[in-house]
Chain A
Amino acid sequence: MSSTVAQPGTDGMPVFAEDMPPTGTYTISDEVAINESERLLTLNMGPQHPSTHGVLRVVLKLEGEVILDCDPIIGYLHRGVEKLGESHRYAQVVPWTDRTDYVAAPMNNLGCVMAFEKLCGVESPERAQYWRVIMSELSRIASHLVWLGTHALDIGALSMSLYCFRERELILDVFEAFCGARLTTNMMEIGGFSRPIPDGLIPQIREFLRVFPDRQKEYDDLLTANPIWLARTKDVGVIPAETAIDYSLTGACLRGSGVNYDIRKAMPYLVYDRLEFDVPLGTKGDVYDRYLVRMEEMRQAIRIITQCVDAVERMDTPLMAYESEYVIPPHKGTMTTAEDMQRHFVWVIKGISPPVGEAYAAVEHPKGENGYYVVSDGSSIPYRFRVRSPDFVNLGVLSHLAKGAMLADVVALIGTIDIVLGSVDR
């Protein structure tokens, strides 16, 4: 558009000669006469908004209550985890991953540690692998409980959040007994677990396994057939399978659309190939389908944990692959003999220097594929540390889903994508 022959039009906007029809009368339709910015209401949701699950900011263009345009803006919780990972020694990187998706910290640890193990060629012992599965499935339930509680709260079911956090507390108690921390667990170590499993942990987990299915039945009773819940979730935020693949969604967002891709089945890691479990799939890909998929995933997680606890109860094999030079030396002896203490001290201070190379490991995080890519240049600090966080990728579909939806649907859509801003922004 040239700026040479501009003259003011009736709506105050310049009218350009080349926009004029060559013949006939120049009429201005209502859409043009009223400036578009005056017809639409721009609503800024967030970063301080109770239902954007943290510091997500969404700029909405509304016509009445209908959304014409939705622009998610992220970065308010960016801490540079990737850069931090490139300036710390390998074992020191693991705690940073806690802070990405803090509602399922053990899963982040696991992905990171698996990438490091792949790089070093270390394999953790079988018993440690079972324990890793137990902890990651527990954190899957913990994460889904946060999702269910906040998602239901966004849609208006007030009590749900309290019920969900009540059960999550039991899981956090297990984490606390296992590693001492509840939220930022820093649970996994390269090579397995260096600390012994505390006594009474297995009965504690069994108690949770006993209690939880009944409690989940309560959630089912409150929501699954509730007409208001159905009205709010059915046919809302439909993601067809092709769209889900196009947006490279993973996790329940993908499986809710009926695409069967679960890393635990597609590329089994740890001992998942020895465990029996089903991957629930949705049909339509709406909010309700993803709700059902996640509810079923919790039931399957209970199945997996039960099998693992049964297996691990009789095992007395080591928890740590001490034979490898990349694994922290045993704590035992550091208090009594100088040699052990020195070895331990040197390992901790100098860290490990994996061979030159690169590795990518992905786990089936509660939110999708959580991948860790690490490049080693032979030094004790990763040359490149990259986190593929599932909800960052999944969030991409939000603006696609929100177009044409109602204002109240935005919170349902943010909830159904299941984001944690720590993980989105990293």
Chain B
Amino acid sequence: MNDQPLWLTFIFAFLIMNVLLIGMAYMTYFERKMLGAMQDRMGPTRTGPKGLLQPIADGIKLLGKEDLIPRAADKWVFFFAPLIVFVTAIVGAAVIPFGGTINAFGRDLNLYITDLNVGALFVLAFSSIGVYGIILGAWASSNRYSLLGGLRAAAQVVSYEIILGLSLVGVFMLAGSLSLRDIMLEQQTNLELGPLTVKNWFILSQPLAFILFMIAAVAETNRAPFDLPEAESELVSGFHTEYSAFRFSFYFLGEYISMIVVSLFAATLFLGGPSGPGSSDHWYLGILYILIKAIVFLFFYIWLRATLPRFRYDQLMGLAWKVLLPLVILNIVVTAAIRLASDGLLF
């Protein structure tokens, strides 16, 4: 690890944050275009060439809207809840490595903001704190639909967090570390698969964990088919029913940024992060690869939303505790046994 001056880290953090915000804005554009294509329609076309300025127009519109606070609302909580969602979503990106240490501009630069030794836990922890924003916002709205949405969010996130965390245990055991940088570097070693030599991406050795992680990640970010807290058809947007203007857009930003962060996280954990052909020689290819991998995940999110109906609350809980939890524990046990056997410690 390279100790670089703090101001460089600040610059990099500033860059990442802006990339995330712009990425989020264009994520909405990407989603609308993709949904449009899947639903036989055009998506945004009017604002700018091919509707490319649509996210910016939406942002300006949201800034200009009236900021309504219901009279019965708990004003301070109502004020802070969206910020919790937004901040916790964006903080997760601090530990995502976009590459190793490179030599550019005559210096050694780290392509990550920080390398925490518990990086993976850091991401999980902040995504768990994010749900407080939802619950508090729902409570502060003093609206019954919001309240039900908040209760659903609490139950859902508590259940799926367990799956999310446990599904990664296999990866941690294989990598021997919780640091995302170590996990990334571990996946750049080669793996012999008979005649083939491939990079040791953890999706190959942990396919079940990958599937479970993806299911739990969709639930954790409250996206279809697990978008129960904001179930539009019965709860009329659930926890953010009473939010308007830029307060609403903080929820919106938070949701999309957490999708992007989870996608980057998944790419780092299971798809080798920046690894790919030529990435060891050219660091910019690595950044490109991790972004492409994240976009594949984001496309997957949109695809799910366009295709699947929504689960019912009890079915969602049943799925988590009766199906996913046994599977994830099975995965841990099998991985641990194999790991021990390969080290000659078993039997």
Binding site for B on A (CB under 8 A): 41, 43, 45, 49-51, 62, 65, 152-159, 162-163, 166, 222-223, 226, 228-229, 231-232, 406-411
Contacts and interface: CB of A to CB of B under 8 A. Distances in A.
B309 A229 contact: yes
B66 interface: no
B132 to A, nearest CB: 21
Interface in B285-321: 305-315
Interface string B201-235: 00000000000000000000000110110011111
B142 to A, nearest CB: 13
A409 B231 CA distance: 12
B41 interface: yes
A156 B225 CA distance: 8
A150 to B, nearest CB: 9
Interface string B228-250: 10011111100000000000000
Given A163-B40, A406-B312, A228 B144 contact: no
Contacts of A43: 144-145, 148
A228 B39 contact: no
Contacts of B173: none
A152 B39 contact: no
Size band of the interface chain B makes with A: 20 to 34
B311 A153 contact: no
B148 A156 contact: no
A411 B233 CA distance: 7
B11 interface: no
B307 A222 contact: yes
A158 B148 contact: no
Interface in B307-344: 307-315
24 contacts: A41-B148, A45-B234, A50-B232, A50-B233, A50-B236, A153-B233, A156-B231, A156-B308, A158-B305, A158-B306, A159-B306, A162-B39, A162-B40, A162-B41, A222-B307, A228-B225, A228-B308, A228-B310, A229-B309, A407-B235, A407-B313, A408-B228, A408-B310, A408-B313
Contacts of B307: 157, 159, 222
Interface of B: 35, 38-41, 144-145, 147-148, 152, 224-225, 227-228, 231-236, 305-315
A406 B235 CA distance: 12
A231 B318 CA distance: 11
Contacts of A231: 311-312, 315
B309 A406 contact: no
A65 B313 contact: yes
Contact of B144 (A41, A49, A163, A226): A41
Contact of A157 (B40, B41, B144, B308): B308
B20 to A, nearest CB: 26
Contacts of B227: 156
A408 B308 contact: no
Nearest to A150: B233
B224 to A, nearest CB: 7
A408 B312 contact: yes
A268 to B, nearest CB: 38
B309 A155 contact: yes
- Find the residue from B144, B228, B233, B314 having the highest chain A CB count within 10 A: B233
Contacts of B35: 158-159
Contacts of B225: 156, 228
Given A157-B308, A158-B306, A163 B233 contact: no
Given A162-B41, A231-B315, A155 B144 contact: no
A51 B234 contact: yes
A408 B309 contact: no
A97 B301 CA distance: 45
Contacts of B152: 65
Given A41-B148, A158-B224, 4 more contacts: A152-B309, A154-B233, A222-B307, A232-B309
